[in-house]
Amino acid sequence: MHSEFELITRFFTPDPPGAEAGVTLGVGDDCTLLAPTPGQRLAVSVDTSVAGIHFPEDAPAVAVGHRALAVSLSDLAAMGARARWCLMSLTLPAADDDAWLADFARGFHALCDATDTALVGGDVTRGELAIGVTVMGEVPPAQALTRSGARPGDLVAVTGALGGGAGGLALWQRGERDTGHPLLQRYLHPLPRLEAGLALRGLASAAIDISDGLLADLGHLLEASGVGAELTPDTLPLAEGLVTALGEEGARQAGLHGGDDYELLLGLPPDHLDEARARLAALGLALTVIGRFSDRSGVQGVTVTGDRGWQHFSGGVAP
Amino acid sequence: MHSEFELITRFFTPDPPGAEAGVTLGVGDDCTLLAPTPGQRLAVSVDTSVAGIHFPEDAPAVAVGHRALAVSLSDLAAMGARARWCLMSLTLPAADDDAWLADFARGFHALCDATDTALVGGDVTRGELAIGVTVMGEVPPAQALTRSGARPGDLVAVTGALGGGAGGLALWQRGERDTGHPLLQRYLHPLPRLEAGLALRGLASAAIDISDGLLADLGHLLEASGVGAELTPDTLPLAEGLVTALGEEGARQAGLHGGDDYELLLGLPPDHLDEARARLAALGLALTVIGRFSDRSGVQGVTVTGDRGWQHFSGGVAP
């Protein structure tokens, strides 16, 4: 076993150390010192990814590193916050594997670089493989996108496409290992919609990221906003290749219940739709209206039978 | 298994929600929004405590909750930072135990209250018992206590008493279960020296917390400061009851190498000693000079044989 210090130095020291924006004292002291932007709110969140529960134990290390950060950054995206910093708690089995660690670090750092997120601290312990990532971002006080702002009459809209996470997981479980397959790409390398979150400041009335499945996360948003919704399920934007992979009904179920998509689910006043679409189009991202919020509680337009909550890797969509 | 939401709501929602200082949006949205104090640096650190490695699997739940937060807060203390907020990643075995969780939460929240630290986020996953705690504190830019400021001629000083963590662990391993025993108390309920860290702003030239053992952590401080040290081991302030529990030589070894004490190890210019002692005395805490920093590299005055790094629970002091 490497010592904690050696591991952190070898794989997790930014290069050059301390050169990241807003970091006034870098990794290597008791704490890292950061300089928050005056007048901004600090948005914080933590997510832990456990092998065999949140991702398959044989997932590529580069994807494990990417996903562990992506799922946390997705929470910043859903607040309309700009990503700034992150800390990582890495729990590793006793058996070392330098090649695995190097790939894991590559996936993690590549997403740090792509999203301007500085890794500013962490620790390494022994145990079952798990990665906890705390993210910190910034947002002006009045511009945060919360779950509680949806009003009756607002449109229900989603970024990008749905069901890709579930489709990719299904393919992985069938033995597909071509990581270039679009659905596997969606599952293994989800992209947190940070730029979309920034673009939607001042336009969206509410936002949540779709990690547990469209209907589950819609439920959280409805509860926080105290409203209901009427969906038009035929309008769901399904991920490319999903019908081919899962069939018509499987694709529909994946779109409604599949998790791990990390798209944004939005409340949007109708007169903001054109501007929101234009801004997201400039980012290469579709915005699809899938229904409307109402003052009638619950979700109309979709028949849901049984418990279909998303179980991430451990169970897929419940039957 | 409780759902994550139910668990967080039952055991980890501050009461009343959102009423904590500096929290503008509390637990329950994608992120928590915080209002950092203008002009301060944000000090951040994360530590993960794993059952069977960092604490015995049969440790009292209230102590597990306390210690998980204490070890992270200790890093803020060592920076001279004021504790503000924390986030917790809780990994729990599949088998639920409401009584255990209630006790765990009691220990965690009690230390939150005692240190004015607000729990502002977290997640719950299934797996081997582990608790990751990210802490955030604040310190004025020029007043942070770093590891790198010790200069030749400065005194080497420690707060409180040493060896209590190792002594308590040894008693626990022998079957002692009277948690009122002073050494068990030291091991199970270590107190992060936050008030001491604040009091030492402007006085100490360097600081680190003693989590891995005096000599190991002194080594980190010497490396960061680019100096050496001459110790006077007979002056080590040993924890109450340590000689009785471990014998003369065992107590000496615990003082030099035992970890989990969470006292502060300091560099102190000699003309700051009286003021530092007075301020710590006002907190009920001793400050003991145990040597002097020098320009001769390494540690003089102590004979160290073999690898005596502290292994927390998994191995005690290496032979």
Which of B35, B87, B121 has its CB closest to that of A41? B35
> How far apart are alpha carbons B199 and B275 in whole angstroms?
10
Contacts of A93 (CB under 8 A, 6+ apart): A126, A127, A128, A129
Which residues, in sequence order, are bridge partners of residue A44? Answer: A136, B32
pLDDT digit string, tens, across residues B119-136: 998 888 888 899 999 999
Q: What is the pLDDT of residue A1?
A: 39
CB A49 within 8 A of CB A308: no
Would you place residue B95 in the very low, low, confident or very high pLDDT band (cuts 50, 70, 90)?
low
| Residue B35 to residue A53, Cβ atoms within 8 A | no
CA distance B111 to chain A (A): 20
| Residue B34 to residue A41, Cβ atoms within 8 A | yes
Mean pLDDT, rounded, for A81-110: 91
| Residue A144 to residue B25, Cβ atoms within 8 A | yes
Phi, psi of B49, deg, nearest 5: -110, 120
How many other C-beta atoms are found inside a 10 Å radius of the C-beta of residue A22?
17
Helix (H, G, I), strand (E, B) or coil at B143: helix
pLDDT digit string, tens, across residues B174-222: 999 998 999 999 999 999 999 999 999 999 999 999 999 999 999 999 9
> How far apart are alpha carbons A201 and A217 in whole angstroms?
20
Q: What is the pLDDT of residue A149?
A: 96
Residue B319 has pLDDT above 50, yes or no: no
CA distance A22 to chain B (A): 10
Looking at per-residue pLDDT, the higher value among A128 and B73 belongs to: B73
Looking at per-residue pLDDT, the higher value among B155 and A97 belongs to: B155
> How far apart are alpha carbons A3 and A124 in whole angstroms?
9
Compute the residue count for chain A.
319
One-letter amino acid at B317 equals V
Contacts of B84 (CB under 8 A, 6+ apart): B21, B22, B34, B116, B117, B118, B136, B137, B138
CB B117 within 8 A of CB B181: no
DSSP B272: G
Q: What is the pLDDT of residue B309?
A: 62
Chain B residues whose CB is inside 8 A of the A81 CB are 31
Q: What is the pLDDT of residue A71?
A: 97
> How far apart are alpha carbons A32 and A70 in whole angstroms?
22
| Residue A48 to residue B207, Cβ atoms within 8 A | no
Residue ranges, comma separated, of all CATH 3.90.650.10 domains in chain A are 145-308
| Residue B32 to residue A53, Cβ atoms within 8 A | no
Is-cis flag, bond preceding B16, omega within 30? Answer: yes
Is B15 annotated to bind a ligand? Reply is no
Q: What is the pLDDT of residue B115?
A: 96
Q: Is B52 exposed, middle or buried (0-12, 13-18, 19+ CB in 10 A)?
A: middle
CATH of the structural domain A4-142, one choice from 3.50.30.30, 3.30.1330.10, 3.30.565.10, 3.30.70.20: 3.30.1330.10
pLDDT digit string, tens, across residues A190-246: 999 999 999 999 999 999 999 999 999 999 999 999 999 999 989 999 999 999 999
Q: What is the pLDDT of residue B299?
A: 96
Would you place residue B19 in the very low, low, confident or very high pLDDT band (cuts 50, 70, 90)?
low
> How far apart are alpha carbons A146 and A265 in whole angstroms?
11
Is B3 annotated to bind a ligand? Reply is no
CA nearest A125: which of B258, B50, B260?
B50
Taking all residues of chain A, what is their mean pLDDT, rounded to a whole number? Answer: 90
pLDDT digit string, tens, across residues B254-284: 999 999 999 999 999 999 999 999 999 999 9
pLDDT digit string, tens, across residues A172-202: 999 999 989 999 999 999 999 999 999 999 9
Residue B29 has pLDDT above 50, yes or no: yes
| Residue B141 to residue A24, Cβ atoms within 8 A | yes
CA nearest A122: which of A65, A79, A83?
A65
Residue located via tokens 């949205």: B29
Q: What is the pLDDT of residue A22?
A: 81
Phi, psi of B106, deg, nearest 5: -60, -45
Query: B25 vs A35, A43, B17, B22, B134, CA distance in Å?
Result: 21, 9, 9, 9, 18
Q: What is the pLDDT of residue B127?
A: 86
Which of A36, A76, A88 has its CB closest to that of B31? A76
Residue A314 has pLDDT above 60, yes or no: no
One-letter amino acid at B37 equals T
Looking at per-residue pLDDT, the higher value among A27 and A208 belongs to: A208
Looking at per-residue pLDDT, the higher value among A125 and B275 belongs to: B275
> How far apart are alpha carbons B226 and B217 in whole angstroms?
14
Would you place residue B315 in the very low, low, confident or very high pLDDT band (cuts 50, 70, 90)?
very low
Chain B residues whose CB is inside 8 A of the A130 CB are 91, 125, 127, 130
> How far apart are alpha carbons A223 and A204 in whole angstroms?
17
Phi, psi of B146, deg, nearest 5: -105, 175
Chain B residues whose CB is inside 8 A of the A88 CB are 46
Would you place residue A24 in the very low, low, confident or very high pLDDT band (cuts 50, 70, 90)?
confident
Residue ranges, comma separated, of all CATH 3.30.1330.10 domains in chain B are 4-142
**DSSP, residue by residue, B49-62:** EEBTTTB-TTS-HH
Would you place residue B316 in the very low, low, confident or very high pLDDT band (cuts 50, 70, 90)?
very low
Residue B311 has pLDDT above 70, yes or no: no
One-letter amino acid at A73 equals L
Percent of chain A with pLDDT over 90: 78
Which residues, in sequence order, are bridge partners of residue A86? Answer: A119, A135
Task: State whether the Cα torsion B9-B13-B19-B25 is positive or negative.
Answer: negative
Q: What is the pLDDT of residue B4?
A: 59
As a CATH number, domain A145-308 is 3.90.650.10
CB B120 within 8 A of CB B32: yes
Q: Where do runs of H (alpha helix) occur along A174-294?
A: 182-188, 194-199, 214-225, 242-257, 273-281
| Lowest mean pLDDT, pick from A130-134, B114-118, B310-314 | B310-314
Would you place residue B11 in the very low, low, confident or very high pLDDT band (cuts 50, 70, 90)?
confident
| Residue B46 to residue A75, Cβ atoms within 8 A | no
pLDDT digit string, tens, across residues B236-255: 999 999 999 999 999 999 99
Helix (H, G, I), strand (E, B) or coil at B273: helix
Residue B227 has pLDDT above 70, yes or no: yes
The secondary element (H helix, E strand) that includes residue A62 is: helix A61-79
Q: What is the pLDDT of residue A4?
A: 60
Contacts of B98 (CB under 8 A, 6+ apart): none
Residue B307 has pLDDT above 60, yes or no: no
Q: What is the pLDDT of residue A250?
A: 95
Q: What is the pLDDT of residue B98?
A: 86
Residue B104 has pLDDT above 50, yes or no: yes
CA nearest A90: which of B310, B312, B48?
B48
Instruction: Tell how far CA A79 is from the center of its chain.
Output: 12
Contacts of A36 (CB under 8 A, 6+ apart): A22, A42, A138, B36, B42
The reply to whether CATH 3.40.50.10380 applies to domain B145-309 is no
On the CB side of A180, CA atoms within 13 Å amount to 0
How many other C-beta atoms are found inside a 10 Å radius of the C-beta of residue A99?
9
Residue ranges, comma separated, of all CATH 3.90.650.10 domains in chain B are 145-309
Residue A307 has pLDDT above 80, yes or no: no
- Chain B 179-218, residues with CB within 8 Å of chain A CB atoms: 207-209
**Cβ of residue B266 closer than 8 Å to a chain A Cβ:** no
Which of A43, A127, A208 has its CB closest to that of B33? A43
Would you place residue B23 in the very low, low, confident or very high pLDDT band (cuts 50, 70, 90)?
confident
Would you place residue B67 in the very low, low, confident or very high pLDDT band (cuts 50, 70, 90)?
very high
Residue located via tokens 């134990």: A57
Pick the residue from chain A with its C-alpha nearest to B122.
Answer: A46
Pick the residue from chain A with its C-alpha nearest to B311.
Answer: A3
Pick the residue from chain B with its C-alpha nearest to A40.
Answer: B35
Instruction: Tell how far CA A255 is from the center of its chain.
Output: 16
| Residue B28 to residue A91, Cβ atoms within 8 A | no
Q: Are strands B118-126 and B206-209 parallel, antiparallel or unpaired?
A: unpaired
Pick the residue from chain B with its C-alpha nearest to A71.
Answer: B30
- Chain A 164-183, residues with CB within 8 Å of chain B CB atoms: none
On the CB side of B222, CA atoms within 13 Å amount to 23
- The interface pTM score, or ipTM, of the predicted complex is 0.89
